[in-house]
Structure 1
């Protein structure tokens, strides 16, 4: 056999992930916050993209296609450029006609209100560039709040220096993990003086700061309220017994009756174990739903995309038509690339919106009993069920339901919430795992102090209700719900607090 170079012609098929396809897949699994950030980056990067500020108001004022005036013939070079292979000719109207703009508008925006011209000055606020942050007072940080109290409480420069060092070492929870001996050695000060400054600063607002452990933090707060009596001190010395709900031992240690112990535990629960944690904490951002749901007049449900989370974009092709006749070859290539990217982004956003609405509608249809009657009627559901119903791949459904929320009459839920595993029933039917967990929580909350349900008792009740479940599954669900064991619940409910 001769060995040498030769030419072969082969034909094969392969799946190629183009950049546009990767972008569409990425947009599909993005949350509304990530989509908004991505659109902002594209608006800065692509000169042919612009935000549709007018919304539906401009679309309502757009003339019908049969009412558009015929196009005025332009220069020869513009016509030749419009027929070129680099830029497709779209639209036959004038350059400023709306037909040159491809609009993506998934939601319905409210019409804008135009203020009329009045006498005595303008009624528009467009010329005022100040924001609300210019008028709002800046929040004081915890260290600034403590430093102000330090300046007012200590006049000796050495004490102020020790206090400033303590503030610098303060943990976010309000505790100090450094011992006084280490502080005194680092600053070259006396141990007794450092402890005296720290003891005085523990009374700063919020009370309980600069403590080294939970016991000291709670003791300072109780002393501030004049409630640190011997019985309360004994309770603080045995917080481990309180954690185990060993009420009998606590009654003996504190030398009080059940009613007094109940009041003491209730008072402990009203204290702040981490007084510094909530001072500088950033308030949680509310979840903005992607889909809005409301009852329909005919007894069904109406679903619509939230217009606040869906960006509206325009592809400014009129700008391309104006610039194109005077552009060089390199500029034409640049405009062609940006035009293709802009059109693809608009179509990807439109397809993303339609897919989210399609999948959400099918989820609502299959979980109709949940929205009407509650969590106990949540049926088992997997991705394949929705994928087969809407004729999409399971991976597409998984991306659509990730980080997407729906606002319903029963609250705002993530779309992933409605997908739960199935638990077999005694009669052949299946039950949702989330519905079973909800039933376990209901049984534990309804149990009496002298009738605490063990895991075996919960299994027996569920089997009588038609749920075939194992004891280890009940224990796993109980741990996931942060429900203590039957022994701990019996100790806790013996002396409720």
Structure 2
């Protein structure tokens, strides 16, 4: 066989991610409030798009049958299709469409006679604002920039929530310089801010009070012993008598473990439901989008014709054609997004029917793959749809991600339970425990197994801590102090 150059023709199929398709996929991950902000920007940029009412989402929702019945044909097969993309076939192109993912929030107004609570909140500075007013007098140049970045990394309690080596790598600065900037932040008011843990926070306040001697340093370094009530062992480590030790503990309790909590929190975006779930007279569920945050868009064909007659040069005609294409694609993408969200939400409600009827104890284990396989979509599409979306029902407001929980094996080999349901059982057992018979984690394991949950002791401890509930020793001590 001879070697040499030759031409071959091959026919293949592949999905190329155009800027428009990228935009449609990004729309899936946005909440209704973010969609509202994005649409407002498009209305300003594109003269052919107009808001034509607020009933567009309701028209789609009316086609949804109760979840006890099969999905309507318009969602299950032919007709208008929901958007689904397999990431294994994606090939992205560079596009400015990424800018559309910006966050936006709207705040609801109050009545004319009601006080505006936002004005009271705005009068109080946030922790970041309070610290920023001080740091400029201590640092300058790059040190000031690093210190302000650290201030931005503080949580609501005033602690640095990011490891310093990660901050150094992110800013491209030596670790020693970041530590120097942190020392400047820790010197600001309130004392204790900028600490990396509780011990460092208390140590900063002890130094400020000129009480950080070796005995106090030992006490702060062994807070775990103090929490467990091992007073005698801790006093021996500190090398002080009972009276001095009592004074040290009394002073330690006077310090503020959350120095940043006294300041106003940053303004939070309101949580507005994207989906409403209501019971129907037939015994099923109705799933619909929140039409109030989804204005209906139309293309102004009359204005398009007027501009078309006025356009003389090729550049004007090309611009008008681009506007028309963008408007038509946006309307189609929003329609696909609405149908996709309703389809995914409907399947979630169908699979979690027990939760909507009986509460969290009937919440089933659920994965993205289960929903994706049930509706014939890719798992990544379901993940995008359930991001930043909230569902309102008779039991409250829930993020769609809430309905996806891991499985806990049943003790009798029956149907597995969700982790959220197990947490709810743990919370109820502890809430109902007698004051003179506090339940240990081992006792909780036995009670849960009696209820059909095969769960390990370390898992019970993990769930208990996630619920913010102390150990049996801590709860017994708290009740003794309260009593």
Structure 1 residues 324-368: Cα deviation after superposition (integer angstroms, max 9, x where no partner)? 133222322222222111111101101111111122122122212
- Structure 2: distance between partners of 1:391 and 1:302: 21
Pick the aligned partner of 2:392 from 389, 393, 407: 407
Structure 1 residues 434-463: Cα deviation after superposition (integer angstroms, max 9, x where no partner)? 101111122222223442322222222222
Q: Which residue of 1 aligns with 2:408?
A: 423
- Structure 1: distance between partners of 2:191 and 2:8: 83
Structure 1 residue 491 displacement after superposition:
3.2
Q: Which residue of 1 aligns with 2:289?
A: 305
Task: Tell me whether 1:362 sits opposite 2:351 in the alignment.
Answer: no
Pick the aligned partner of 1:479 from 465, 474, 480: 465
- Structure 2: distance between partners of 1:338 and 1:319: 12
Task: Tell me whether 1:384 sits opposite 2:369 in the alignment.
Answer: yes
Task: Tell me whether 1:350 sits opposite 2:313 in the alignment.
Answer: no
Task: Report the TM-score, using the length of structure 2 for normalisation.
Answer: 0.60
Which runs of structure 2 are paired with 1:241-390 in the superposition (5 Å)? 244-245=226-227, 249=231, 274=258, 277-327=261-311, 328-390=313-375
Which runs of structure 2 are paired with 1:12-23 in the superposition (5 Å)? 12-23=12-23
Unaligned runs of 5+ in 2: 60-115, 131-136, 139-146, 160-188, 194-199, 207-217, 236-240, 244-249
Structure 1 residue 56 displacement after superposition:
5.1
Compared CA separation, residues 471 and 295, structure 1 to 2 (3 A): same
Compared CA separation, residues 311 and 472, structure 1 to 2 (3 A): same
Q: Which residue of 1 aligns with 2:43?
A: 43
Structure 1 residue 306 displacement after superposition:
0.9
- Structure 2: distance between partners of 1:12 and 1:350: 30
Compared CA separation, residues 216 and 340, structure 1 to 2 (3 A): closer
**Contact 1:217/1:273 (CA < 8 Å) preserved in 2?**
no
Task: Report the TM-score, using the length of structure 1 for normalisation.
Answer: 0.59
- Structure 2: distance between partners of 1:142 and 1:416: 30
Task: Tell me whether 1:394 sits opposite 2:379 in the alignment.
Answer: yes
Q: Which residue of 2 aligns with 1:494?
A: 480
Pick the aligned partner of 2:450 from 438, 461, 464: 464
Q: Which is higher, the Rg of structure 1 or of structure 2?
A: 1
Structure 1 residue 15 displacement after superposition:
2.3
Q: Which residue of 1 aligns with 2:28?
A: 28
**Contact 2:225/2:231 (CA < 8 Å) preserved in 1?**
no
Structure 1 residue 412 displacement after superposition:
0.5
Compared CA separation, residues 323 and 136, structure 1 to 2 (3 A): farther
Structure 1 residue 312 displacement after superposition:
2.5
Structure 1 residue 433 displacement after superposition:
1.3
- Structure 2: distance between partners of 1:31 and 1:284: 15
**Contact 2:307/2:320 (CA < 8 Å) preserved in 1?**
no
- Structure 2: distance between partners of 1:214 and 1:326: 73
